[in-house]
Each structure stands twice: as C-alpha cells, then as structure tokens.
Chain A
Amino acid sequence: MAKHDTIRALLKRGVSEELAEKVADSGLTLGDLKGLTASELCKKISTSEEIAAEILQLAGSKPKKAITSETSLKSKIEQLEVPRSVKDALIKRLSEREFTPTQIERILRMTIEEYERIKIDPCEAVGIVAAQSIGEPGTQMTMRTFHYAGVAEIYVTLGLPRIIEIVDARKTPSTPMMVIKLNEEYRNDKTKAHALASRIEATYPSHLGDIVTLPDEMLIRIEIDESAMEKRGLGIDDLIEKIKGQGKFNADIDLDEDGKSINIRPKEYSYRSLLQLRGRLTSTNPSSGILIAGIKDITRVVIRHEGDEYTLYTEGSALKDVIRIEGVDGARTRTNNINEIENVLGIEAARNAIINEMVNTLGEQGLNVDIRHLMLVADMMTVDGEVKQIGRHGIAGEKASILSRAAFEVTVSHLLDASLYGYVDELKGVTENVIVGQPIKLGTGDVELVAKPYGKVVD
C-alpha cells in the first residue's frame, strides 16, 4: 500500500514510472527521500548520481495539480465505479474540449454522486416492475398484421400478438421474415443481388412456366417461360432433373419436341392419377410442392435499394441455410425467428434477439418502455441455457413453490403431485406468502433490521 502511494506521489512530481518504481521497491518513501543525498540514493537504487539528483530535486518539488495527460485521465475514469457506458461517454466528452483539472475533478465527482443517486435500491422488486411496465401498455397495442416498415410487399405480425408470440417462445413465429444483408462484393451490384435473390427464393414448377393439363392426351405439359428460367439461372435440363429427382413420382418425364416444354405422363392410365400429378406440380406449398431451386422455407424475396446497398427482405426464414450462401453478410443478416437464432447462434444471441424484437415491436407502436425491463424478461427466459416460455410450460410452471404454481394454473394436479412426492414449500416467493397471510420477502419486507425499543415502553 505504502509502496503504491510512493509511486503515485513520485509520478505526480514528474518522476518517470520506471524510476518511481525503483525507489519504491527499495523501500523508500517520499519522506525518506528528503533526508537523503544524491549519492546515498544512487547506491540504494543503483543508478547514476545524476539521475538520483534529479529524482531528489523532483521529489522536493510540489506535486503537479493533476495528471492532465490523455492516458492518465482515461485510467482515472476507468477506475470510477460507474457503468461502462458512462465511462465511454466521459472519455469521449472530456477529450472533446479543454477542461481545467479542477473542472475535471468536479465533473468526475459529480458523475459518481449522480450514479450513486440513480442506482437501483437493494430489495427493489424489479421483476414486478418489469412485468407491469411491459404488461400495462399491452392494452394500448393494436392487434393487426401490418406491412413491414417500408416494404409494402411483406406482412408481419406486430403489436400485442407479436409480443405474446415472443414471450411464448414459439418454435416459429406466425410471420417469419428475414432481412438479408449482402457482403461488399454483392451489395452494390444489382444483377448479383437479383441472382442471389433467385437462389434463395423457393421456386416451384409453376413459377417457371404455365402448367397445362391435356386430359385427352393424358398429359401435363409445362410450357416453359424462358425469361423466368433465365432470371433464375436454370436450364431446362435442371428442371427435368429436379422433377425426376422427386421420388414416388410415378410418371414419365421427357422434353417435348419443340424443346420448350416438358411433357409429364402418368404411368397409371387414369384420370385420378393425372389430377394428382397436376396437384403436385402446381403446388407451391413447402410440404407437398416440388422444390426446383432456392430454400424451402423462404417463400418470397423482395429486393430493395436501401441507403447505398441492396438488401433482401424475405417472407419465411431459414437462417442456417441463408448465412452459408456466398454473398450473404451473415453478421448483419437478421431473422425474427428466435428459435432459429438460438439453434444457430446460441443462447446469448437468442437473448439479444428477444430484446431486439420486443424493442422494435413496442417502438413500432409508439410505446416507450425502458430496455432494462425487456432485458430482465429476456434474461429470465434464457437463464437456464434454453429459451423458456413465460407461462405454464416455462418459468411459471417450473417455479420452486407449489402454492405459487397452484395459484397460477392447473391447480389440482400440482397439489396432487406435491403430496405424493412430499414436496416442501419454502414460502420464499410472493404468492405463497400472500396465501398464508404473512409479509412478503421483497422490498421493505426484505429488510431484516429490527429497531430496539428504548425508554419506557407503553403497550
């Protein structure tokens, strides 16, 4: 401790760091230095006499008011017990302008005072406050599906249904969508962006030409639209290949004489099989359709020129497949499917995705909710390392207290289980204590200070 002080004192007086350390290491303090001569000192710290003399001279001088150099200010700020964001803001602001040392002192002091003032109190029931802060504006939210901001072609669920979807931790959102950013090579090139889009968008036979049914010939003909094929970079052989590649396809497939259409003939000569065949060929449904190109789950891609780059908006989401595609900037690409994010990028990313989705949804509705509340909800949903629902099958259903669970939902079966397995309710939470009628261990109820009565006690 004393050593540290000595170094600091010497530094303040302009002694170099190396030398100050040497002096301190030899067990000397500032007071000792005053009684020493240069020669004595140089022996003790094994330096030349000149340097020792210089140290003594400096040690005898008055300390400089403050360390004003950029780096020491920075380290000073770093030592403050304030959050990262405040430190960064301080460093930025204080380097923008010249301040006198006293001003800096004052600013730092006031910052600390201010932080102490605005710090959350211990025992504060932050959970309830968060729940109320998110739940209360729920009544003000709309219930409809809207167009995605700016992209008229894509519908997304917003408002209350979206928020509920998020806290329900659904496996797939009702309107999955992605915003795909492109890497440097692709983002400014319109043709490349379009090519990429057609590689992502799910393509079915009906996108590539007219599908004509000729019942009298027992034939289905795909009259190929060449421009559509070209746009997607597909050749007619690819198409035949893909259709053939579909197993369980009891039909003969061959190219028409004109070379511009494909004839498909069911092997079984019946009207029913013809209709079935047509059904499969015309389907654009991810489960039954024949995927020719693109990613199954992405049903539509819209290209927009935003700022100075091309961005793809998609209906449907397939993060894992999309970020692997050449040309996609995986770091900036987003999806609104939190489950996918959890699987592909991990729980921390899922936590951030929950926060982002909620911030965006609430912000879109013009509602102002502090991000700290949303963080708490997201953290609570993800503490266990997997995204858990807020509700019966998640957090509320896994709570330690039987009474609390019984008071939430499915009362009777919780009680029956509890008795069979001999569970014990420790009465630590809110509901349990309300039920048994005693003070709640939260907020003012959690303070274990007891005032000792003094003087005459009148009952």
Chain B
Amino acid sequence: MIAHPKRIDSIKFGLLSPKEIRKMSVTKIITPDTYDDDGFPIEMGLMDQRLGVIDPGLRCKTCGGRPGECPGHFGHIELVAPVVHVGYARLIRKILRSVCRSCKRVLLEKKDQDHFSAQIKEHQREGQPIDEILKEVFKRAMAVNVCPHCGEEQLKIFFESPTTYEEGEHKLMPADIRARLEQIPDKDLPVIGINPKQVRPEWMILTVLPVPPVTARPSITLESGQRSEDDLTHKLVDIIRINQRFQENREAGAPQLIIEDLWELLQYHVTTYIDNEVSGIPPARHRSGRPLKTLSQRLKGKEGRFRGSLSGKRVNFSARTVISPDPNLSINEVGIPQRIAEEMTITENVTDRNFKAMVELIKRGRNYPSANYVRRLDGKRVKVTSTNFEELAEQLQVGWKIERQLRDGDIVLFNRQPSLHRMSIMAHRVRVMPGKTFRLNPAVCPPYNADFDGDEMNLHVLQNEEARAEARILMDVEENILSPRFGGPVIGGIHDHISGLYLLTRSGTRFDENDVLELLRHSRITDLIEPSFGEGDKPYWSGKDIFSMILPEGFNATFEAEICHNCEVCLKERCEHDAYVVIENGRLLRGTIDERAIGAFKGKIIDRITKEYGPDRARRFIDDATSLAIRAITRLGFSFGIDDEDIPPSAQKQIQASIIATEEQVAQLVDAYDNNELEPLPGRSVEETLELRIMQELGRVRDAAGAIAGEYLGMDNTAVAMALSGARGSMMNLTQMAGCVGQQSVRGARITRGYEGRTLPHFERGDLGAAAHGFVKSSYKKGLSPTEFFFHAIGGREGLVDTAVRTSQSGYFQRRLINALQDIEVKYDGTVRETRGMIVQFEYGEDGVDPSRGDYGKSINIDRIIELATCGDD
C-alpha cells in the first residue's frame, strides 16, 4: 500500500490560562519531597505516579502506559500569591505604562486606536510582522500623561530588572499588576497586538504553575544506588517549599515585611525556574556550585532543544569509520568492512517472487550474507541465531519481513562533515571487503574535501524503496559530477592521476602490445586502436593512443593544457611544449593530458563528456582514466626526493650573489631614509615608502632566486612536472625549497614587533635591514638560521590563526545564508518564491537556466550548436 502519512497542518501558539492549567493537570502538587523512605514516589509529590513513569516495570496511574508508552502528564502548583513571568516582565512594564491607572484603558485617542488596530489587522492578514506598529503604539501611549478617556493624571512607573515595579513611591506587587491587567477591557487589547479571544494579559502573571511530567525531568540512579534528580525537579522543590512557608506565615498573620520577603523569594524561584540567566539576579545553583539548567536553558543555543534535538536528530542504520583509498573501485562505489556489513540491515518484504532467495538467505545462519532478524506476520521480531535459523527458514512465509545484511550493490549514503554543499552527501554502491576502513576512489575526494590522514566518514543505509529511488536518481555520485556552484566538474583526477596521465601522454612515449594491455587492464576496452608506429612488424602505441582508447567514440575537443606557457603568440597545433590539446573523433592527436583535461574543478574533458554523453559515460571515463593513470605512473615510475632540489654550486653562488646585492640595496634604502633623502611615493609617508620599497626589493630577490633555481630544474624534474601539470605543489614551493624562503610577514607587513626597538636581541636597536625584520635568505633545503627559524614560526602562526578564525566565521556565515534562503523554490510557473508565496524572481537567474547544466555560467553555447548542426552539411 502507498502510505498517506498524516500531516500536521499548523501549530498554534498561545498562553495557558490558570483555568486551562488546572484542567490539564492530573494532580495538585503540594509536598516538596519526592520519594518516601522505601523509595516510593509520594502522592501529590513531584514524582507522583500520575505524572507518568520512567522506572521500568511501573505503570502510569493516569493512562496505564509503561515507560516509553506513556508520554507523561502535567500537574500543577497553586501559588499562594501571584508572581510575574520573567519572559514577559518587560512587556508588562510597557503595558502598565500605556494603560490608565484609573480606568485601565489604553492611553490612546479613539482615532489613533482605530488606526493602529486596522493596521495591525491588515498586517496580520498578510502575514507581515507587526513589531514595528506595536513599537509605535507603545511609544505613543507611553508618552501620554493624562488619560484621554477619564482625565486621570498618570504616574511614572519605574521598573527594575528583572521583576520589580514601582508607581511613584508605591511598590506594585504582582497582585496589583494582575488586578490592573484584568481590568483592561477586551476592546482595547487588539491595539497592543493581543487577541482577547485567545489571550488575556493577566495570564502573564502566574497564579498557577504547571508542573511538567516526570518524563521531561527524569531522575537518574547513580551507581551507588542514590537517586539524582533533574535540575527542574530541584527547582520545583524550591518553589513548593517557599510556597508552603509563605502560606504558613500568612495564615499565622506574619508581619508585612516577612510576607514581602517571602513573596520576593517565591518570585526569585519562579523566575530562575523559567530562566536561570536573567540579568540582575544571581543564577540558582546546584549543591556543587554549577548553575542549574532550567527551562530557557533547555531550549537555547547549539545544544538546546531546537538546534540540538529538533533540527538535528540522531539516527539508526548508520556507520562511521576511517577512510582509505582504493583506486580499483568505481567512483560510485564504497568499500565497506565486512563487520559493518554484517551489522547493518535492509528490511525486505518476503513475496512470492523472492521467497526462495529469502529462504536461502536465512538458511545461511550466521554466515555472512545472511539476515539478522525476521519479522513475523504478527509483528514479532525474532533474531536469527545459529540455533534457530533452520527453524526460521522452515517457517518463513510470504508477508514476513526480513532484515538482511548489507551486500554488494546496495545503495547507501556516504557523508563527510562539514557538509558544506550537497555533494557532501552522495549515494554509493556497496562493495563489501575485508579490512576495517571505508574505501573510496580518490577521484571523489574533492567534493567531500576528504583526504586519508585519518579522516572519518559516515554511512547511512536507506530503508525504503522511495529513498533508494531518490538516492539513485538524484544523489548518485555520477549525477553530482557537475557542481551547481559553477557548472563544472568537481569529481576528477587528483595528484597521481594527473602526474600519471601527464607522463603517459607527453610526446615520446611508446608501448608494445603487452604494455598496452597491462595499462588498460582495468578498463573494459576490447579492441585496441590502430597503432601509431611499428618497428618491423611489431606494433607500438604512443601514450596518446592509449589515452584515446578510453575516450568516448566521436569525442571532439580543443583546449590549452595546464602546462601551457601562455606564450605571446599561441602556435596552437604547432605548440612546442605540446600544450595544445586536440582531440578529434575520439582520438588524442596533440597535446598532453593534465589537470586542465581530467582534473577535478578544471577537467575540460570530464566536463564535455558529462554534458554530451551523460553522467554514466562520464563515470566510466573517470574510472578508466584514473585506473589508467595509476597503472601508468606505476609502470613509468615516479619519485621525488631531497636530491631533486639539488642545484649546481654555480647556481647557488648566483643566488647568493643576488641576495647579497639586494641586501645592499636595502641598506642603501635605509641609508637614504636615515639621511632624509628618500622621496615619498604620492600619498604615502616616508616610513611607508621605505617599507614598500624594501618589501618590493625582497620580493623580487625571492622570485629571482626561484628563477635561477628553475633554470636548472626542467620538466624532467618530477617536482616541476607536478607543479606545472597541476598535480600538486607550485613553483613557489620549489623556489622556497631550492632557492630562498623569502620575507615572512604578519598582516602583510614585515615583522616589527618583539623587543623595544628591535625584533630580537640578536639585532641592533633600530636596525631596518632585511634580516632584522624577517627576511629568510636560506632555502628549506639548506636549513634556516635560528633567527630565521623564529621569524618563520611567527609567519606560520599567523596562517594557523587565520585558518581557525576563518572556519568559525564562514561557518556562521553559511548558517545565516542557509537560514535566509532555505525555503526558496522554483514553482511550476517558473517563478521563484518563498513560503508565503511571495515572488523573489520571476524567472530563476533571469534566464531560467540550471547552473549545473549550463555551459560554465552561460546558458547555451550557440557556437557548439551551430557546429553540430552544420557539421554534416559541409
């Protein structure tokens, strides 16, 4: 059957009247004690069994439910004297000030009152906030000194946080306030935003206090057998105690002073029961000195009810472990340890069609692909054990449900936090394997932003057919190759994939048939293409040929590779660096494959295949490309070590010379500054000019050192190859390793802080030279001097702090963005609207184009269409 889940249509909020509180209460609570000496709950105490049960074995005296079934029931405390509800204290002040002390009418002329009421009504009808109008109403009414209705002069009302009110010299007790609020006529309430049919303002003064059910404040039994009560219970005990004392004193006719003190104490307890972080009064504390967590604290904040328990919920059918790479998996697979697969289940209905298979499954007993539980027709859940499995297999009948273990091909959701975008949760297919980690193809690391330095990921097993269908259609990895952020691929080759294909496809490679077959072993290629060259009758294939074999048939593309030197005049096809990629009819004719071709974020080929051949073909291409790359890099060999940063002594001397020359130049600048000869740049002071010029010089020398080092490190250097092909690292890294680390900076300027007049005691006071302000002339390979090392640590620390600040800032930024935009949707008429139906855009993005389907932000690539439409004709 298709289920029609009941929907909650709306939730209405309101204030409880004393009458309602008494009506919903199952008992009046009068005793402050909870349990008697035998450990039984006391009748009419805070743990009264009519309030619900939490101890196993007991039954609720109201509904007869067992723990877990009974939701709990409210009780109530009759307060001896009314007290103010802190949450409304400020509003009560405003109302007192806006209401006549004599006739209790709102201090507005009838004309104004009608005007504001109408405005409020109008706004409420349109679902607009009324805060601004109410502000104006109170502002106007509070300014009135003489009541327009009865002519009574108004006295000033003082308010002291949190709950003290004074009128003139006279203190207003909650009872007085309540009396005043009670007398406000119904017809005057709408103008202060209150609907008298639902709420009366005097309900903001409490005379009866609802007591939440025990299920909302469960006590826990410690190891010692001692009971430890919830904070709320503690607070309620306090309230009842004072309430009792108050009553006794009043009946005994105690002096007014004592009564007032007790009243204030009762107010304090009720206040802290509602909110224990009110300013102006000390928070109520536990015996241990810890502030109590009362009602408001339960709701507030990240771990509060709203954000901690309602917006984010804990789930079953999930697993978490460390991840590690497996290039032999397809990108839409995930390797799952058998132990996890044994634990996680999918509920399957036993039908005519799968009956046999299900019986077989049960018959396997406790041997891996099996079932953990069966659910019989009567709804009873039976565990499959090594002793009862044969019996269960025998009994099995259509209509039962079995909870079978996870197996290859099942669809699961895979997720890594922080889940910053929708590609942080994708659907994968299960591959059960030995080991204890989740395995994934490194090509899907970029969307998850995962690496394998100890990252853990979560996995969720889908439990119904709708969810599985949705996951397959919308969340599959291949459906998410293209990012909706910029319309390009986020899944693609990284690191060794790029190095591997770079090595394979650069010119001058050749492979015999054996090699070719080995390289392509993992792909589903059945026929080899024509070899490019032969020697005698032995055919040889170039690396470009091999790459061509994994391309889709008829694929065309032309673009510049990452290794492109950006020459002034592009020679295009005749590029001497083999950086102009030409693919015609599924064959790589020219150019080298690197990041620009198959990389995540940049991969042109992946982008084109996804858009022209569909996600499935793209997935196959990425699978083939990555496994080919790994095989190629293994076959061709690739290493990087400290001697790869070696540069000849002559080059080192050259670098030294240029550093010394620059240092001299800096000294000259400093001299010029000291002699007041330095000409300031326009709009700059002399000091700023000096700093700017020094920074410029030192920046230049670092680049020069890099250039000198670079001359000796060519494309046959693996680090250079990695940097230029986009696999990993940059030329800057190499410069710093082989040439010179360069200037360390804090907030974009040279390092100046430290001791008086100098950064470190190693330097003269007032030294403005390069070394004294954080210039590191050594290379990483050579090693840093102690002062250089220290400056480097300063610069490094800034980076770390920056990252830490940034993550928290951008986290909050994203939370706000999501909160503001989450309800916006494209409607069937093409408009973009929010929940109220207000139109935000008439056409999404002004052209109605889905960014992940368009052509890198543009809507339609007309040239491509013209090319396709006319290619057959010429």
Residues of A within 8 A of B (CB): 82-86, 89-90, 93, 99-100, 103, 106-107, 110-111, 114-115, 117-139, 141-146, 152-153, 160-161, 163-164, 167, 300, 302, 368-373, 375-377, 379-380, 383, 390-391, 394-396, 398-404, 406-408, 411-413, 415-416, 418-431, 434-436, 438-439, 442-444, 446, 450-451, 453, 457-459
User: Is A83 within 8 A of B199, CB to CB?
Assistant: no
- On whether A132 and B422 interact (CB within 8 A), knowing A118-B853, A427-B9, A457-B1, the answer reads yes
User: Is B13 within 8 A of A425, CB to CB?
Assistant: yes
B299 on the interface (CB 8 Å rule)?
Answer: yes
* Complex Cα spacing A458 to B352, Å: 10
- On whether A167 and B816 interact (CB within 8 A), knowing A127-B823, A406-B306, A430-B822, the answer reads yes
Chain A residues within 8 Å of B87, by CB: 412-413, 416
Closest to B87 in A: A416
Which among A126, A152, A371, A406 is the interface contact of B826 at CB below 8 angstroms?
Answer: A126
Chain B residues within 8 Å of A428, by CB: 823, 835-836
Chain A residues within 8 Å of B806, by CB: 138-139, 141-143, 160
B642 on the interface (CB 8 Å rule)?
Answer: no
Could you say which of B380-388, B484-492, B778-786 contacts chain A?
B484-492
User: Is B421 within 8 A of A396, CB to CB?
Assistant: no
- On whether A427 and B682 interact (CB within 8 A), knowing A111-B862, A434-B310, the answer reads no
Looking at the assembled complex, report how far the CB atom of B297 sits from the nearest CB atom of chain A, in whole angstroms: 9
Chain A residues within 8 Å of B712, by CB: none
Chain B residues within 8 Å of A153, by CB: 681-684
Residue of A127, A377, A413 with most chain B CB atoms under a 10 A cut-off: A127
User: Closest 6 interchain pairs by CB?
Assistant: A127-B824, A135-B814, A372-B845, A138-B810, A83-B847, A127-B821
Q: Can you list 6 A-B pairs with a CB-CB distance of less than 8 A?
A: A83-B848, A131-B818, A368-B486, A373-B851, A376-B844, A380-B834
Which among B14, B486, B809 is the interface contact of A369 at CB below 8 angstroms?
Answer: B486
Which among A85, A427, A450 is the interface contact of B10 at CB below 8 angstroms?
Answer: A427
* Complex Cα spacing A265 to B182, Å: 69
User: Is A396 within 8 A of B845, CB to CB?
Assistant: no
Given A167-B813, A376-B840, 13 new contacts (CB under 8 A) = A115-B859, A131-B820, A136-B814, A152-B681, A368-B488, A372-B845, A412-B87, A412-B300, A420-B91, A424-B10, A425-B11, A450-B2, A458-B399
Looking at the assembled complex, report how far the CB atom of A362 sits from the nearest CB atom of chain B, in whole angstroms: 10
B357 on the interface (CB 8 Å rule)?
Answer: no
User: Is A143 within 8 A of B204, CB to CB?
Assistant: no
Closest to A382 in B: B840
Which among A90, A126, A370, A443 is the interface contact of B485 at CB below 8 angstroms?
Answer: A370
Closest to B296 in A: A412
- On whether A141 and B862 interact (CB within 8 A), knowing A117-B853, A118-B853, the answer reads no
Which among A400, A450, A457 is the interface contact of B835 at CB below 8 angstroms?
Answer: A400
User: Is B194 within 8 A of A421, CB to CB?
Assistant: yes
The count of A-to-B residue pairs whose CB atoms sit within 8 angstroms is: 345
* Complex Cα spacing A120 to B827, Å: 10
User: Is A438 within 8 A of B5, CB to CB?
Assistant: yes
Chain A residues within 8 Å of B487, by CB: 370
Looking at the assembled complex, report how far the CB atom of B154 sits from the nearest CB atom of chain A, in whole angstroms: 24
User: Is B862 within 8 A of A412, CB to CB?
Assistant: no
- Chain B contact residue count (CB 8 A cutoff): 110
Which among B1, B826, B857 is the interface contact of A123 at CB below 8 angstroms?
Answer: B826
Chain B residues within 8 Å of A413, by CB: 87
Residue of B199, B818, B839 with most chain A CB atoms under a 10 A cut-off: B818
* Complex Cα spacing A436 to B7, Å: 10
Residues of B within 8 A of A (CB): 1-2, 4-5, 7-15, 87-88, 91, 127, 129-130, 193-195, 198-199, 204, 275, 296, 299-301, 304, 306-307, 310-311, 349, 351, 398-399, 420-422, 470, 474, 483-488, 681-684, 692, 747-748, 802, 805-807, 809-810, 813-814, 816-828, 830, 832, 834-836, 838-841, 843-851, 853-854, 857-860, 862-863, 865-866, 868-870, 873
Which among B818, B834, B848, B873 is the interface contact of A119 at CB below 8 angstroms?
Answer: B848
User: Is B862 within 8 A of A131, CB to CB?
Assistant: no
User: Is B194 within 8 A of A376, CB to CB?
Assistant: no
User: Is B860 within 8 A of A86, CB to CB?
Assistant: yes
Closest to A109 in B: B869
User: Is B850 within 8 A of A459, CB to CB?
Assistant: no
Which among B12, B849, B857 is the interface contact of A83 at CB below 8 angstroms?
Answer: B849
Chain A residues within 8 Å of B10, by CB: 424-427
User: Is A126 within 8 A of B832, CB to CB?
Assistant: yes
Closest to A457 in B: B1
* Complex Cα spacing A414 to B195, Å: 17
Closest to A416 in B: B87
Looking at the assembled complex, report how far the CB atom of B180 sits from the nearest CB atom of chain A, in whole angstroms: 17
Looking at the assembled complex, report how far the CB atom of A119 sits from the nearest CB atom of chain B, in whole angstroms: 5
Looking at the assembled complex, report how far the CB atom of B351 sits from the nearest CB atom of chain A, in whole angstroms: 6
Closest to A371 in B: B857
User: Is B306 within 8 A of A419, CB to CB?
Assistant: no
Residue of B15, B399, B747, B820 with most chain A CB atoms under a 10 A cut-off: B820
User: Is A376 within 8 A of B824, CB to CB?
Assistant: yes
User: Is A103 within 8 A of B869, CB to CB?
Assistant: yes
* Complex Cα spacing A84 to B731, Å: 44
User: Is A422 within 8 A of B12, CB to CB?
Assistant: yes
* Complex Cα spacing A373 to B853, Å: 14
* Complex Cα spacing A203 to B813, Å: 39
Chain B residues within 8 Å of A404, by CB: 819, 823
Chain A residues within 8 Å of B846, by CB: 83, 372, 375
User: Is B399 within 8 A of A411, CB to CB?
Assistant: no
* Complex Cα spacing A450 to B827, Å: 19
User: Is A82 within 8 A of B306, CB to CB?
Assistant: no
Looking at the assembled complex, report how far the CB atom of A352 sits from the nearest CB atom of chain B, in whole angstroms: 12
Looking at the assembled complex, report how far the CB atom of A176 sits from the nearest CB atom of chain B, in whole angstroms: 17
Looking at the assembled complex, report how far the CB atom of B85 sits from the nearest CB atom of chain A, in whole angstroms: 8
Looking at the assembled complex, report how far the CB atom of A376 sits from the nearest CB atom of chain B, in whole angstroms: 7
Looking at the assembled complex, report how far the CB atom of A455 sits from the nearest CB atom of chain B, in whole angstroms: 12
Which among B306, B474, B485, B865 is the interface contact of A373 at CB below 8 angstroms?
Answer: B485
Which among B304, B825, B850 is the interface contact of A446 at CB below 8 angstroms?
Answer: B825
* Complex Cα spacing A416 to B834, Å: 25
* Complex Cα spacing A443 to B199, Å: 38
User: Is A436 within 8 A of B840, CB to CB?
Assistant: no
- On whether A421 and B193 interact (CB within 8 A), knowing A431-B311, A431-B822, the answer reads yes
Looking at the assembled complex, report how far the CB atom of B823 sits from the nearest CB atom of chain A, in whole angstroms: 4
Looking at the assembled complex, report how far the CB atom of A391 sits from the nearest CB atom of chain B, in whole angstroms: 5
Chain B residues within 8 Å of A84, by CB: 847
User: Is A133 within 8 A of B849, CB to CB?
Assistant: no
* Complex Cα spacing A107 to B846, Å: 23
- On whether A132 and B421 interact (CB within 8 A), knowing A413-B87, A415-B13, A451-B2, the answer reads yes
* Complex Cα spacing A6 to B412, Å: 60
User: Is B844 within 8 A of A126, CB to CB?
Assistant: yes
Residue of A145, A302, A403 with most chain B CB atoms under a 10 A cut-off: A403
Looking at the assembled complex, report how far the CB atom of A88 sits from the nearest CB atom of chain B, in whole angstroms: 10
- On whether A120 and B810 interact (CB within 8 A), knowing A144-B747, A370-B487, A371-B857, the answer reads no
Which among B306, B420, B488, B819 is the interface contact of A136 at CB below 8 angstroms?
Answer: B420
User: Is B851 within 8 A of A370, CB to CB?
Assistant: yes
User: Is A144 within 8 A of B748, CB to CB?
Assistant: yes
Chain B residues within 8 Å of A376, by CB: 821, 824, 832, 840-841, 844-845
Closest to A89 in B: B862
